[in-house]
Structures are given as structure tokens and as C-alpha cells.
Chain A
Amino acid sequence: MKYKVLYYVNQFFGQVGGEEKAGVKPEFVRKMVGPAMGFNGLLEDKAEVVGTLICGDNYFNENKQEALDYILGVIKEEAPDIVVAGPAFNAGRYGMACAGLANAVIDELGIPVVSGMYMENPGLEECRAKAYVVETGDSAGGMREALPKMAALTLKLLSGQELGKPEEDGYLAQGRRLTIFVEKRGSQRAVDMLLARFRGEEFKTELPMPVFDKVAPAPAIKDLSKATIALVTSGGMVPLGNPDRIQSASAQKWGRYDIDKNVALMGDYCTIHGGFDPVYANEIPDRVAPLDILRDYEKEGKIGGVYKYFYTTTGTGTSVANAVKFGQEIGKELKDAGVDGVILTST
């Protein structure tokens, strides 16, 4: 039995036409069109291209949902073992279409996707975390080099073997930082790296610096006396007994607790945070999340009121990806509830 490959190309490589045809709707043909033909010839009789999806780049990018509805419908029907898209080289809209298709196919159908793109194609960043993307030249002149690489990668994925390192199996790193054993201990590698720097030799950092998001501050609250203020903390402050079993480090969840009847956290809360000296926080939990002061302010009319739910998680060792997710989830709840401002404390 041969594995089934479904191929995706844009209007140009699908031989529909150039820029003037970029608006054509997606169609499926049960044959090999354009690069699908050359690709099929590289599959060593182990797999075959069963058909080609062709879609105008403008149509895909301007009508993404409609395009994907059709495309996913076809793919579901044909049930291929793998989907191959492009190569898109440095064509931005084509790359974005390949990426959009790849993310949808992987997320919704769980079918792997192979593509090929130039390093600067904006589609690459969109889908590299999930799809297997081969690095190509910046123009269609690179087709002859791209297809064998994409075919080899496709065959390896189909064979069920675990992929090796990106450079070994010819795909661009997906951004998963995996822990591995190495021959030299860390201190020896540090000394070697320092010596290489002294000698002016090449060296490779093992941890390229991360790039941070910048979040613009919300506009100031005009009248605090009418504002509802919510209390949120990453200080691991939870109701005694930790009913939701929030982790003491590397949190996988957050908790929401009703504080409508509390004048303070003291007496009902404790910290399960593993990253600081808990003695003083447990003495007076409001030192970490100051509900007591907020209640005073509420009484004095400095603020309109304290939002009835308190949100909490553990900050220590918690991945930024989880933190971003928690922030979006909690932020949405607060926004939907009409909360005006948040006191967010860390430890």
C-alpha cells in the first residue's frame, strides 16, 4: 500500500494564471499539477500524490475562512496521510496561504504538513512551530533543490521514524527547546566557550536570547472612586487546603475564588508558592495580595469596589507560554465582568 499525499499550490504553480488569477476560488483536481508532478517522482514508489488543491493567493488571504472550509472539506474526504504545500519561496501571500492551511490541517485534522519557504517569507513564522518547513531559495529557480528535500522529509515522516535534529533531517527548527545529554559537562563547555572567545574562534551560544513582547499600558482610570478593582496575584495565595491543587512551581493552572465576604485574605488563605520564604506571607497573606487595604479604600470611597473574585496562580518556574495563556484567560473574564483596573502582585 502506498501512502497518500495531497498537494497544495497557488494559482501560478497550479497553472491557472498569474497575478490576474490570484482571486480564483480553491478547486481540487484528482491529478498532479505543477510541482506535484516532480514531487511525486521523488517518492520512490512508497507514496503517491492523489490530487492537487489549487487556490488563488488573494482569495485565500482575503477569504481565509471560506477557503479553509473548502480545503479542509476536501482533505477530510480524501484522508491523505500527509499534506504538502508549496514550496512558496519568498512569495509572501503564497507563504501565508501555505501557513494558514498548515495550521488548520494540523490543528483540526491532525495530519502532518510539509512545506518549503525562504527564510524571510512571513508564512514561515506563522507555521514553523507546527509544520515541517524546508528552507528554500528566494525564487522558483530553487525548485529543483527544494523538492528532493521536501520529498525526503515527507518519506521520513510517513515511515513513522522519529525525526532527528533539524539540520539532520532538513527542516527548519520548530522552536521546541529539548533537553539532551551531551559529552562535556556544563562547566567544561563554559570554559571552552570562553577560550574560543579569547582566541577569536567561532562559538555557538546554547541559548539565543529571547525576544520579548511589549504590552502597551491601558489608559489611566479617570475616576477611581467609581472603578471596580480586581485583585490578581502570581504569589501562589490560595484558600487553605489548596482546593484546586495549583502547583507550587511551574503552574499549569490558575484559580478563581470568591472574596465577596472577606475583609482580608488573612485566616482563610496561605501560599503554596515554592519560590520564596513563605513564613511572612503566611503570617499575613494580605502582604502578598492586599485585600485588606483594598477593603479600606472601598470603605473610604477611594475606589468604587473590589471585584468579587480573586485570581491567583504560582509565578515561579511557570513557563511564559502558560503565563500568557493565564493572562489572556483571566483578562477576558475581568473584561467581560466590566472590571476597570487590576492590582497585580508578584513575589
Chain B
Amino acid sequence: MKLELRKISIKDLKLGSEMKLQDGVLTIDPQAVIDELMEDVNVKNVKVDIARPGEKTRIIPVKDVIEPRVKIEGPGNGFAGVTADMEQLGSGKVNVLDGAAVVTIGDIVGFQEGVIDMWGEGARWTPFSTTYNIVVDIEPVEGLDPHTHERTVRLAGLRAAQVIGEAGRDGEPDKIEVYELGNIFEETAKYPDLPKVVYVEMLISQGLLHDGYVYGVNSQQFLPTLIHPNEELDGAVISGNCVAACDKITTYQHQNNSTILDLYAQHGKTINFLGVVLTPELTTLAGKFRTCDYTAKLCKGLGAEGVIVSEEGYGNPDSDLLMICKRLEDSGIKTVLITDECSGWGGDSQPLADTTPEAVAVVSTGNVSHVVNLPPADKVLGNDRAIATLAGGWEGCLEEDGTIKCELNAVIGSTSEIGYHYLSVEEY
């Protein structure tokens, strides 16, 4: 399977009367996005705005982040099985609006999602302060049940990314990245002496606002499954808007999964990268046993000698993470885990909800309860009062002047457990 990501560097972003990409400047016609999204009878109102790196702009409450792209050759333009016809993803040529991102905002139900600050202190904590963001505020019609409401917002964001991606159809790429991996026999014949590595990516699968989707299938509904890394890089895996903003894997992060990219970089040099196992994180004990056994079985069956496991979320999925680790280590497979931790405001509390002595190699991507102070913004896209009810905020954490004091919990992508960001934890 061969996928060409043709990256067109976005150097500026503005609003205008037509959708176009010229000399790295992306112009967004808000009406074109609105017209597309309003075709969904469940959408009542759409607002489109932009936020550029360095501007004193706060975006809140963020639902998902999506990279705009267009496939110019090969099957499956868009999110197959979701906003486009079902196709086999993972091959062909894709024009990527590199550096641009669609950011969806709007209330859904309950207590969800996070903040992106485009400047200063807040910008350090989120990877999406460095992207040129097209902010799409989606208001659905009244009376939708929560699950339909969530689905409406999720699909609207993906469709917005597709419409905007079209602007790059004729663009000339600044660089071309090629991702190619044959079947495991071919790759093993090529690199017989390199250790075989599988990546296990855990996906939250726990109900409304807590689901991952693969080709449109809710991850609650499948057994752990093997996927070619190119499929994920090509849009097969999307986010279902999980509530803890800090470690949800946004759709953008699936499209640019850093663990996949860093394993790819070593393929044929120091390792033989066999593929990705997507593992649902279920709520029931029987479900956890089933998926963890099944995940270990797939890794063993593939002949893996090393596995990297990344978690999504925290709390009960900590158990899945460690159960998978124990099973793999017991089978002699060297395992490295990526997780964040809940060590409390002072960092002096127990970091995980479970423990196992087999977990000897763990990357920590930060304490979700680390408290940050975010100075007031000049411009708020969305509603900054949402901070009081979202995970990581509390009543009174928004001061009158607009300063926010909150946990990293509320900052999108800050403690990404696919290792997308640059935080760690050190014991003092």
C-alpha cells in the first residue's frame, strides 16, 4: 500500500468571497462552508471564523480538529464510510493543506471539550495554537436527542474539512511524503534481521462523546482489529468527541498519528513495522478481558517482538493499558506504553488507576490535573463561560477580566497519549 501525502504549506489564512489557495495563502469563503453544512436538515445555523497563530484569540469549547485535504488520485476522497462513499483508504495521492485545521465548536450535551489559545502561555500547551484554524460553530435544530446532536456536529466538521480541502486540489506541494508498506511477509523478507514491531492504538469506546470510529463503525462494535497504518493516515479513523480535551485523539491527530509517523521513520532502519492494531476500550470487565486477550493474540500471531501501546483517556482504560502490557510482556514481547497521569493539582497523588509490575517502560505525557493560568483574550470564538462546566474547569475558574485558571484536562491535545505533544513528568 502506497500513500503520497503532498503537503502544501499554508502560510496565511483569510476570509474572502471565494475559496482558494494561492501562494500558500488560504482564503475561506464562509458562505461556501455554510451552504454545504446547511444541507443537513439537522443543522440550524453555522458560523465560520478564523484564528491565526499569535493572535490573542481563545477558541472554546472545541469539539474536534480536522485537517483539510483532498485526494487527487486513488480511491476514497474524504472520510470513507462517514462523509463519503465507502472505499478502501490508504493509497493514492492526497493534497494536504499543511498547517491549516478545521476546529469545530458548539455545545452538545453535558460537560465537554476544550480550549485552544492562539498566543502566549496557553499556546505552549496545545499543538493547535500553531495551525491556521478555520473555526466552525455549529448550532443544530432544537429537539434533537443527544446522540443525533453529537453525530450532526461530528459530521459537519468532517464535511467542512472536505469542502475546504478542495481548495488545494490544484496546489503544488512544498514537499511530498511517501508512506509505503508491503504485507508482513514482503517486509520481513526485506528486513529479516530487524525486530518486528506492532503499534496498538487504544480507542475510547464508551458511549456518547466517548467513541472512536473506523470507516464510520463505532469502535464499541468491533473486536481489536488490524489496520494498515496508511489507512489511518488517510482518514479511516475519526474522533467521536471525547470529553477530556487533553488526551482525546482528535481526527487531525489520527490523520497525523505521531506514533505511526515515528515508527514509519524507523521502518527498514532499526525496526520492521508490521502494522496497527486498533483496540476498543470497553466499559465492562468481560469486555476488557476479551479485547485485551484479543489484542495480545493479534500481536503474538503477527510475530511481534516489540509493541508500543497508546491509551486514550484515563481512569478505567488504565486497566486495559496495563492488562495488555502484562499479556504482551508475559509472552516475551517488549512493550512500551504511552499514557498521561492523574497526579492531582500538587502532583503528589498516585498517577494511575491501576498498576502492574510488568509495565517497566512507560512514557508519561503529563499530569492532566496540572493547573495553568491563561490570560484574557482579545477575542473569544465560542463561549468562554463553558470553562466552568467542562472537564478541567470549575465554577469560578473564569475571572471577570477573562483570565482562566484550569487544569490541562481542558486544553486540547496537551497530554496527547499518542505522544503528539512535548510534555512529560518529572519527579521532584
Residue in A187, A197, A274 whose beta carbon sits within 8 Å of that of B111 in the complex: A274
Chain B residues lying within 8 Å of A175, measured Cβ to Cβ, are 348, 427
A316 within 8 A of B: yes
Q: A249-B243, A321-B348 are in contact. Are A176 and B362 (CB under 8 A)?
A: no
Residue in B209, B360, B416 whose beta carbon sits within 8 Å of that of A186 in the complex: B416
Quick one: closest B residue to A251, CB to CB? B394
Q: How large is the interface on B (under 10, 10 to 19, 20 to 34, 35 or more residues)?
A: 35 or more
- Determine the distance from Cα of A18 to Cα of B214 in the docked complex, in whole angstroms: 73
- Determine the distance from Cα of A174 to Cα of B314 in the docked complex, in whole angstroms: 24
- Determine the distance from Cα of A102 to Cα of B109 in the docked complex, in whole angstroms: 49
Residue in B359, B416, B425 whose beta carbon sits within 8 Å of that of A209 in the complex: B359
Q: A187-B338, A206-B362, A206-B364 are in contact. Are A321 and B349 (CB under 8 A)?
A: yes
B367 within 8 A of A: yes
B208 within 8 A of A: yes
- Determine the distance from Cα of A175 to Cα of B350 in the docked complex, in whole angstroms: 10
Q: Contact mask B283-321 → A, CB, 8 Å, 1/0?
A: 100000000000000000000011010100011000000
Residue in A176, A203, A248, A278 whose beta carbon sits within 8 Å of that of B346 in the complex: A176
Q: Contact mask B347-365 → A, CB, 8 Å, 1/0?
A: 1111111011101111111
Chain A residues lying within 8 Å of B342, measured Cβ to Cβ, are 250, 317-320
Chain B residues lying within 8 Å of A275, measured Cβ to Cβ, are 210, 243-244, 315, 391
Chain B residues lying within 8 Å of A320, measured Cβ to Cβ, are 342, 344, 349-350, 353
Chain A residues lying within 8 Å of B195, measured Cβ to Cβ, are 198
Chain B residues lying within 8 Å of A249, measured Cβ to Cβ, are 111, 243-244, 391-392, 409
Chain A residues lying within 8 Å of B348, measured Cβ to Cβ, are 129, 174-177, 321
- Determine the distance from Cα of A250 to Cα of B351 in the docked complex, in whole angstroms: 13
Chain B residues lying within 8 Å of A319, measured Cβ to Cβ, are 342-345, 349-350, 369
B389 within 8 A of A: yes
Residue in A177, A186, A195, A205 whose beta carbon sits within 8 Å of that of B258 in the complex: A186
Quick one: closest A residue to B265, CB to CB? A191
Chain A residues lying within 8 Å of B357, measured Cβ to Cβ, are 209
A195 contacts B391, CB within 8 Å? no
B90 within 8 A of A: no
B110 contacts A193, CB within 8 Å? no
- Determine the distance from Cα of A193 to Cα of B258 in the docked complex, in whole angstroms: 15
A150-165 contacts to B (CB < 8 Å): 163, 165
B393-428 contacts to A (CB < 8 Å): 393-396, 407-409, 416-428
A317 contacts B391, CB within 8 Å? yes
B124 within 8 A of A: yes
Residue in B356, B392, B421, B428 whose beta carbon sits within 8 Å of that of A165 in the complex: B428
Distance from B384 Cβ to chain A, minimum over Cβ atoms (Å): 17
Chain A residues lying within 8 Å of B146, measured Cβ to Cβ, are 279
Distance from A125 Cβ to chain B, minimum over Cβ atoms (Å): 14
Chain A residues lying within 8 Å of B84, measured Cβ to Cβ, are none
Chain B residues lying within 8 Å of A165, measured Cβ to Cβ, are 426, 428
Chain B residues lying within 8 Å of A178, measured Cβ to Cβ, are 347, 367, 370, 425-428
B28 within 8 A of A: no
B336 within 8 A of A: yes
Chain B residues lying within 8 Å of A321, measured Cβ to Cβ, are 344, 346, 348-350
Distance from B345 Cβ to chain A, minimum over Cβ atoms (Å): 7
Count of residues in A whose CB is under 8 Å from the partner chain: 57
A278 contacts B110, CB within 8 Å? yes
- Determine the distance from Cα of A149 to Cα of B392 in the docked complex, in whole angstroms: 40
- Determine the distance from Cα of A178 to Cα of B343 in the docked complex, in whole angstroms: 9
Residue in B243, B308, B366, B428 whose beta carbon sits within 8 Å of that of A190 in the complex: B308
Quick one: closest A residue to B394, CB to CB? A247
Q: A174-B428, A195-B266, A206-B424 are in contact. Are A317 and B369 (CB under 8 A)?
A: yes
Quick one: closest B residue to A199, CB to CB? B270
Residue among A198, A206, A322 having the largest count of chain B Cβ atoms under 10 Å: A206
B246-272 contacts to A (CB < 8 Å): 258-259, 261-263, 265-266, 270-271
A179 contacts B391, CB within 8 Å? no
- Determine the distance from Cα of A322 to Cα of B350 in the docked complex, in whole angstroms: 10
Chain B residues lying within 8 Å of A212, measured Cβ to Cβ, are 350, 355
Residue in B110, B258, B351, B428 whose beta carbon sits within 8 Å of that of A185 in the complex: B258
Q: Contact mask A166-201 → B, CB, 8 Å, 1/0?
A: 100000011111111111111111110111011000
- Determine the distance from Cα of A212 to Cα of B350 in the docked complex, in whole angstroms: 8
- Determine the distance from Cα of A190 to Cα of B257 in the docked complex, in whole angstroms: 13
Q: A185-B419, A194-B336 are in contact. Are A279 and B351 (CB under 8 A)?
A: no
A181 contacts B243, CB within 8 Å? no
Chain A residues lying within 8 Å of B423, measured Cβ to Cβ, are 179-182, 186
Distance from B322 Cβ to chain A, minimum over Cβ atoms (Å): 8
Quick one: closest B residue to A189, CB to CB? B363
- Determine the distance from Cα of A188 to Cα of B264 in the docked complex, in whole angstroms: 11
Chain A residues lying within 8 Å of B416, measured Cβ to Cβ, are 186
A55 within 8 A of B: no
B142-199 contacts to A (CB < 8 Å): 145-147, 195, 197
A207 contacts B110, CB within 8 Å? no
A277 within 8 A of B: yes
- Determine the distance from Cα of A75 to Cα of B361 in the docked complex, in whole angstroms: 46
A257 within 8 A of B: no
B112 within 8 A of A: yes
- Determine the distance from Cα of A187 to Cα of B363 in the docked complex, in whole angstroms: 8
B370 contacts A317, CB within 8 Å? no
B390 within 8 A of A: yes
B37 within 8 A of A: no
Quick one: closest A residue to B357, CB to CB? A209
A315 within 8 A of B: yes
Quick one: closest A residue to B146, CB to CB? A279
A264 within 8 A of B: no
Q: A248-B110, A276-B206 are in contact. Are A210 and B364 (CB under 8 A)?
A: no
Chain A residues lying within 8 Å of B350, measured Cβ to Cβ, are 210, 212, 319-321
Q: A186-B338, A186-B421, A195-B271 are in contact. Are A277 and B361 (CB under 8 A)?
A: no
A185 contacts B362, CB within 8 Å? no
A274 contacts B258, CB within 8 Å? no
A274 contacts B334, CB within 8 Å? no
A245 within 8 A of B: yes
Chain A residues lying within 8 Å of B110, measured Cβ to Cβ, are 248, 272, 274, 278
Q: A175-B348, A315-B315 are in contact. Are A191 and B266 (CB under 8 A)?
A: yes
B334 contacts A194, CB within 8 Å? yes
A211 within 8 A of B: yes
Sample of 9 more A-B contacts, CB < 8 Å, known A179-B424, A186-B338, A275-B243: A165-B426, A174-B348, A178-B427, A186-B258, A190-B310, A198-B334, A248-B391, A317-B244, A319-B369
In the assembled complex, 18 residue pairs joining A and B whose CB atoms fall closer than 8 Å, in A order, are A178-B425, A178-B428, A180-B424, A185-B422, A186-B420, A188-B419, A191-B266, A205-B359, A206-B362, A207-B363, A207-B364, A210-B352, A248-B391, A250-B368, A274-B390, A275-B391, A278-B208, A321-B344
- Nearest first, the 6 A-B pairs at minimum CB distance are A277-B207, A186-B419, A187-B419, A319-B344, A321-B349, A249-B391
